[in-house]
Chains A and B, each alone.
Chain A
Amino acid sequence: MGVDGTAGNVLSIQEVGEAIVHLTVATETRPNPGQFYLLRAWQEAPLLGRPISVFDYSEGKVEFVFKIVGKGTEILAKLKVNDKLQLQGPFGNGFPEVEGKILLIGGGLGNAPLHATAKVLKAKGQEVDLRLGFAEKIYLEKEFNQAATNTQFVVGGLVTNGLNIRDYDAVLTCGPHPMMEAVVKMAHQAGIPSYVSIEKRMACGIGACLVCTCKTKSGNKKTCKDGPVFEGEEIFYEDEDKIS
């Protein structure tokens, strides 16, 4: 295996919600919150590895939480303890180390990377509020509760409802595009910085193939290498007129 490619052992795997899987893998690599790995637990097919964000990590292991949506995640979900899988990574820039009182706001599987991020910021002594949106049922409630200073769960409704963003010094968000766009808009109006983590289909994961290019205010960027985290207004710049 190369410098960044590790064959990991499955340490634990559980279904923690409807088609939501919590996977822990042994690895010597050490990620930052907001980074991702390309996961692969098959030989020939599917062709490409699957990008999955870091949910948590500690000495010698990395945890992922993913939803079963297609072929790749189906195979990953069937792994058993001690099975091997290929981890390439960690890749991407990860969330920045913002300071002050911080809001982390997520929706759907966008909640996963915010867990690690909240934990790290909290450990650094920051006040961290975690607001998470779930479509139907909350999963990993205990883990999310422990990760932040305050954790709020919103089931069904809009995670931005009743939010007073002016209480915060910075906001980090990951989830569906319309949700992130709304958050960026609110942060802009409140005059605080926002960061979004975006998803694009990927192939190489390290910045060489340009299939994951996203348009930003300052031109084309590679989601896998320059991102997946960008300043909110770099991505949702087209709405600049509407916002201001």
Chain B
Amino acid sequence: MKTKIKFLDLELKNPIIAASGTFGFGEEYAEHYDIEKLGGISYKGLTLDPRDGNDGIRVWETPAGMMNSVGLENPGVDAFARKIWPRIQDRNLISVVNLGGSTLETYLEGIRRLEHCDYDILELNISCPNVKAGGMAFGTEAKSAERITRAVRMTTQKRLMVKLSPNVGNIGEIAKACQAGGADAISLINTVQAMAIDTKSREIVFNNTYAGLSGPAIRPIALRMVHQTAKAVNIPIVGMGGISNADEVIQFLMAGASAVQIGTAFFTNPDQIFQIPTELEMWMEKEGVQSLEEIIGIV
């Protein structure tokens, strides 16, 4: 496989990972597509206890994006470990468990209960804008980001990737704090905090007032933040935000990402996403690139 990359001590057959929350646990897409064409999957964000998610409208389109307010609906870590993980663990894919929480203790307890599942990477979600308590709050300040990363580092042997929020002033500073806390990798960006008003009803669209913007609209912001993060840390970065084709994957690699995640684009054209590894290979041949690692961070 020409497109294979090394990520930490893992080998991914290509740098494409499905983004958390957009791909479930992979089972629905697996009914229709060969999901093992991907390098990996970041599963739907889990929390210690099951969550029903937010009420009201959960999705709203914008000219080049969508806002969501799912509110981390998920079955909880125990149901994942007991029922879901046994069904999905044998895939030829890198498995990323995305974990959210409201207090430090709920994060740590969640991690402990997942310890016996031999998934590959723990993605610590300190950046979800759609839950009221905790969540994003941990990711918006360097001190708290470092504190939670360190506490998690002491709780688990798993490879630890911290997922950052774009809703901050200085992303490099927060990424550095996570590195200092013991993170093995950084992923970014989560959705951008946004808002919509329905002028007909004269009401705010989302029950939670604000929602998370994803899709092409946020790509330039994400690219800039990946670039800034790459300058600030020396651990690998997984970049995401509005990516939908091979050229955009290459842009993120050039900005300093070692791999990428793709979310919203699965909703618009899943066929195209499963084509990206082939397109990357074609591009490599055309450009005489032997390994994608050659282009990581070249700008």
Residues of chain A with a CB closer than 8 A to B52's CB = 219-220
Contact-residue size bin, chain B (C-beta under 8 Å from the other chain): 35 or more
> How far does the alpha carbon of A229 sit from the alpha carbon of B16 in the complex, in Å?
35
Structural contact, B70 and A211, CB atoms closer than 8 A = yes
> Does B23 count as interface, using CB distance less than 8 angstroms?
yes
Q: How many residues of A contact B (CB 8 A)?
A: 30
Residues of chain A with a CB closer than 8 A to B270's CB = 2, 5, 88
> Does B63 count as interface, using CB distance less than 8 angstroms?
yes
Structural contact, B73 and A210, CB atoms closer than 8 A = yes
Residues of chain A with a CB closer than 8 A to B61's CB = 46-48
> Does A45 count as interface, using CB distance less than 8 angstroms?
yes
Secondary structure at chain A's binding surface: helix, strand, loop or mixed? loop
The stretch that binds A, out of B28-36, B131-139, B165-173, B225-233, is B28-36
> Does B268 count as interface, using CB distance less than 8 angstroms?
yes
Residue of A nearest to B72 (CB): A210
> Does A49 count as interface, using CB distance less than 8 angstroms?
yes
> Does B79 count as interface, using CB distance less than 8 angstroms?
no
Residue interface bits A211-237, CB-to-B below 8 A is 1, else 0: 111000001100001000000000000
The stretch that binds B, out of A14-22, A150-158, A201-209, is A201-209
Residues of chain B with a CB closer than 8 A to A208's CB = 22-24, 28-29, 266
Within 8 A of A (CB), among B10-49: 21-24, 28-29, 31-33, 44
Structural contact, A209 and B21, CB atoms closer than 8 A = yes
> Does B57 count as interface, using CB distance less than 8 angstroms?
yes
- Pick the contact of B31: A46, A202, A206 (CB < 8 A): A206
> Does A238 count as interface, using CB distance less than 8 angstroms?
no
Structural contact, B59 and A2, CB atoms closer than 8 A = no
> Does A69 count as interface, using CB distance less than 8 angstroms?
no
Residue from B21, B58, B62, B64 having most chain A Cβ neighbours under 10 A? B58
Residue of B nearest to A225 (CB): B28
- Pick the contact of B22: A2, A204, A213 (CB < 8 A): A204
> Does A136 count as interface, using CB distance less than 8 angstroms?
no
Minimum distance in angstroms from A21 CB to a CB of chain B: 21
Residue interface bits A28-48, CB-to-B below 8 A is 1, else 0: 000000000000100011111
Structural contact, B264 and A47, CB atoms closer than 8 A = yes
- Pick the contact of B33: A3, A49, A207, A213 (CB < 8 A): A3
Structural contact, B267 and A204, CB atoms closer than 8 A = yes
Minimum distance in angstroms from A142 CB to a CB of chain B: 36
Known contacts A47-B66, A206-B29; decide if A213 and B58 are in contact (CB<8 Å): yes
Structural contact, A2 and B73, CB atoms closer than 8 A = no
Structural contact, A5 and B271, CB atoms closer than 8 A = yes
Residues of chain A with a CB closer than 8 A to B66's CB = 47-48, 203
> How far does the alpha carbon of A25 sit from the alpha carbon of B283 in the complex, in Å?
35
> How far does the alpha carbon of A112 sit from the alpha carbon of B202 in the complex, in Å?
31
Minimum distance in angstroms from A10 CB to a CB of chain B: 19
> How far does the alpha carbon of A204 sit from the alpha carbon of B33 in the complex, in Å?
13
Residues of chain A with a CB closer than 8 A to B21's CB = 209-210
Minimum distance in angstroms from A40 CB to a CB of chain B: 8
Structural contact, A206 and B32, CB atoms closer than 8 A = yes
A-B contact pairs, 16 of them (CB 8 A): A2-B32, A3-B33, A5-B270, A40-B268, A47-B65, A47-B268, A48-B66, A49-B268, A202-B59, A204-B28, A204-B266, A206-B32, A208-B266, A211-B59, A212-B59, A213-B73
Q: Which residues of B contact A (CB under 8 A)?
A: 21-24, 28-29, 31-33, 44, 52-53, 57-66, 68, 70, 73, 215-216, 264, 266-271, 274
Q: Which residues of A contact B (CB under 8 A)?
A: 1-5, 40, 44-49, 86, 88, 201-213, 219-220, 225
